[in-house]
């Protein structure tokens, strides 16, 4: 992958319960320094209504964080983590590093 990122998991999904939505992480990558990077990929035809980045609202962020926390249960020692967003708007692709945090 670009920038030395190594794929770990794709479309990681977790359910919260039989009737409640859980969360999903589009891509989980490992950076050169060992950081796990949880990536949300958002696509929009154009920037109307705030564009692709604006569609990663508080609820979407909480669902991504929920899935990331579930994924991290497999580690005895938690690695450093960050949450990135990749936006695709028409022909334009933008990678927003550390777009939000888990708080």
Q: pLDDT digits over 87-102, tens only?
A: 998 888 999 999 999 9
**What dihedral do alpha carbons 89, 3, 57, 27 form, nearest 10°?**
100
14-70: pLDDT as tens digits: 987 777 778 999 999 999 999 999 999 998 776 666 788 888 999 999 999 999 999
In the three-class reduction of DSSP (H, G, I as helix; E, B as strand; rest coil), residue 61 is classed as helix
Residue 4 has a pLDDT of 86
pTM: 0.89
For the domain spanning 2-100, the CATH number is 3.40.1350.10
Residue 27 has a pLDDT of 98
34 forms bridges with which residues in the sheet?
A: none
Whether 9 has a pLDDT exceeding 90, the answer reads: yes
Per-domain residue ranges for the chain? Answer: 2-100
């Amino acid at each position: 992958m670009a920038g030395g990122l190594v794929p770990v998991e794709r479309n990681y999904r977790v359910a919260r319960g039989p009737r409640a939505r859980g969360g999903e992480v589009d891509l989980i990558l490992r950076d050169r320094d060992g950081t796990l990077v949880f990536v949300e990929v958002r696509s929009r035809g154009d920037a109307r209504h705030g564009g692709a980045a604006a569609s990663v609202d508080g609820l979407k962020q909480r669902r991504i964080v929920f899935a990331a926390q579930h994924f991290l249960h497999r580690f005895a020692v938690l690695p450093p983590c960050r949450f990135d967003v990749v936006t695709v708007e028409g022909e334009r692709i933008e990678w927003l590093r550390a777009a939000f945090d888990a708080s």
